[in-house]
A and B are shown apart, each in its own frame.
Chain A
Amino acid sequence: MSSTTGLTIENLSMRFDLPNGGHVQALQGVSLDLKAGELLSVLGPSGCGKTTLLNIVAGFLAQTEGTLMLNGHEINGPDAERGMVFQAGALFEWMSVRDNVSFGPRMAGRKAKDYMGNVDHLLEVVGLQDFKEKMVYELSGGMQQRVALARCLANDPDVILMDEPLGALDALTREKMQSLVLKLWKETGKTIILITHSVEEALLLGERLIVMAPRPGRIHREYRLPFADMGVNADLREVKKHPDYAPTREEILNMIWDMEEEIMGTAGEEA
């Protein structure tokens, strides 16, 4: 792995003016070095700038300070090299499942015979081989997120940015999808940044985990965790029985709890 591969974020700040003359410091001095193939999960209370960070990496927002480099070039606007998976509502409901998944290659002007094999393969990987011709609005929420994952992978991006991709799913589906994300991560070797509200999810999926603090948004603490590697092709419930799991979870929960209390002055129910 050469030093030019991977994502480098240096001293990133984001500050914007408000109509009333004030301003918001959404991010301040965020630095991060992500090697190719790493899976980073980002945790933090509401308003800590997680989504702003992701939108800047995706190229939807311009930072006011700092640099972002991906594979040796600066990030400037959205690009197919950085794929996005959103919480919900990002699929094109006027297209079939197959047309959604093949959207990227089609837009790139590639010939159908060149990408259709890969599209079918990805649909099989996410378990939707029998739903290719269905319209996406005919699928359940979990299936729709699997379409979104497949669509992102079909475009073969260098980095996958996930903005609470499993946040809208029920607990059971969510657990299954977490296994799927780990499996896809190992099989494809993609660099992934995953934003989540769930401490459990961040622990289970994040090879690295950063906890962000609000006002101004900044990196509060960083962890390197063994659980993601353990969880590949294994039962995630077994992983949770690891002796380090519960103490780490409690530590992070308390950390975020304290931040939330500081913001709201009351105790939140779930971090």
Chain B
Amino acid sequence: MDSTVNLLCTRERLGETVTELRATPVPEGQIVGDTFVPAEGCIVATGWETFSYQFGTLGTELWGETKTVFASAASALPSIAIYILVILACMFIYRAVKSGLTKTADYTSLKTVTFGDESAVRSDLPASILSIVLIFIIWGSFTGSALLPGFLHLPAPFVGESSFTYTLEDADGNRDDAEVFIRVIPAGAAASDMVFDPGAGLAKNDGAEIGIYRSDNILWDSNDDVTRRANGARIVAINGAEFDYAFGTDGAGRAPSFNVGFARVAITDRGSINVVPDQGWQMQPLYLPAPEVVWTRFIEIAKYGYQNVYLTVHLGFSLFRVIVGFLLGAAVGIPLGYAMGLSNWFRGWFDPIVEFMRPVPPLALIPLVIIWFGIGEVGKIFLLFLAALWIMAIAARSGVSGVRITKVHAAYSLGASRWQILRHVIIPNSLPEIFTGARVAMGVCWGTVVAAELVAAEEGIGKMITTASKFQNTDIILLGVIIIGLVGFGIDMLMRWAERRLVPWKGKG
């Protein structure tokens, strides 16, 4: 019999007794409750035990995750608070300046009740401009952007040469000072030999070249007259600050460390010196490239492409998929919605399908679509077709149900046929709803195409991001995100413009 049984096993782990639920296959020929003998320390779990264990562990896990999430959110609070304070400060400054200028005296500005009157709340253009500028300032100051004046930069990582001294003591108590020269070089810069005077005495000067954001262990005794191993030499002070530390013992966490200005210097358990140059407050280019870097990349990719595919091709493929998928979805969805709005039979037929498919996000279908259609264009366009189909069907259906019955009655009384009523009353009356649906559908399609390309594609803006992430080209990832946002915004603006042009009677019925 090929079956599986849940076992409740108790065992020791790190001195603790833990109980686990394990699904175990039942060996051929054995019967649970009869010939089947569970492993040592295990019993066959009852249905209730299986159930309560699963929910118990689920609860524990989710509680742990909740704590992590809230801790992360709490750690972000100070930054958010500073951001809000800056914005509020700008608001007060702006209002103070504005109150000194001549006031506009249009109707809305004369309203005294604005708190609670939504129509009196207008988007303040300076606030919008400030919002965008502030994002770039934050971006620039965290990346040390050349576009920003230096005083706006957060502390940068240390680059250049500096030194600190250490004091050596050998087994006989003889002491000598020596200097360690450190040169921190920018990422990608060519390494060069360090030339320095070794000096005299027991301890000789040392030197090390460290890449930015990296650290190094200085083996100070490699050139000294006395060494740790042979002479029991050890370091007793850094920059004159003495310390007492028993090397080689289990003193984890107690090794002394010093701030020498440009770096953090720590003595390791084995007596070597670990140097971590100051990393500043800025983000590494790998995590967040500066705005001008992204811009340069944009120019480069626009001119020469990325990985042999031009930006226009990436963008063109993504837009092609969205437009074809959307048009197909609309071409099927709108008639479907009309049929559902006009006929009992079609309403009954498609309601279960539409209502079931509507909450399924198209992204969840990506694996299935890849299995069915492969990674070619057909699959992706099918996915976008599905994304647009239900939205457009529902928009058309609610467009039909939004037709005032008096209009239909009036048209019948004026002698119009069913077909004429569809053509001259129902379709024009539902166009505003269909346009709203089309805006939503285009937004969803644009989001879906990027996600589909992230999973599987030859080209496309999402594919560009995936490729860039494999090569850690953060600038291109960021560029892709910006392009996706701008194009999505542009599509919506275009749809709004078309709506204003084509259905000026929206909301006027």
Q: A-side interface residues toward B, CB under 8 Å? A: 58-60, 78-80, 82-84, 86-94, 103-104, 107-108, 135, 137, 148, 151-152, 155, 157, 161
Contact = CB atoms under 8 A, between A and B. Distances in A.
Contacts of A135: 504-505
A94 B399 CA distance: 15
B404 A93 contact: no
Interface centre among B415, B424, B431 (most CB of A within 10 A): B415
Instruction: In the A-B complex, list the 3 residue pairs whose CB atoms are closest, starting with the nearest.
Output: A80-B415, A137-B508, A78-B412
Contact of A103 (B404, B424, B429, B431): B424
Contacts of A86: 406, 409-410
A91 B404 CA distance: 10
A257 B303 CA distance: 84
Given A89-B406, A92-B425, A107-B420, A84 B509 contact: no
B409 A107 contact: no
B413 A84 contact: yes
Nearest to B504: A135
Contacts of B414: 80, 83, 103-104, 107, 151-152, 155
A78 B407 contact: no
Main DSSP-derived SS at the B contact region: helix
| Size range of the chain B interface in the assembly | 20 to 34
A90 B420 contact: no
Given A91-B410, A94-B505, A103-B424, 18 more contacts: A58-B409, A78-B413, A80-B415, A84-B410, A86-B406, A87-B406, A89-B406, A90-B407, A90-B409, A91-B407, A93-B508, A93-B509, A103-B414, A107-B424, A137-B505, A137-B509, A151-B410, A155-B415
A144 B406 CA distance: 14
A89 B420 contact: no
B108 interface: no
A138 to B, nearest CB: 9
B495 interface: no
B407 A92 contact: yes
Contacts of B409: 58, 60, 78, 84, 86, 90
Interface centre among A88, A94, A161 (most CB of B within 10 A): A94
B9 interface: no
A58 B424 CA distance: 21
B323 interface: no
B404 A89 contact: yes
A58 B410 CA distance: 10
Interface in B368-426: 404, 406-407, 409-417, 420, 424-425
Nearest to B427: A94
Contacts of A148: 410
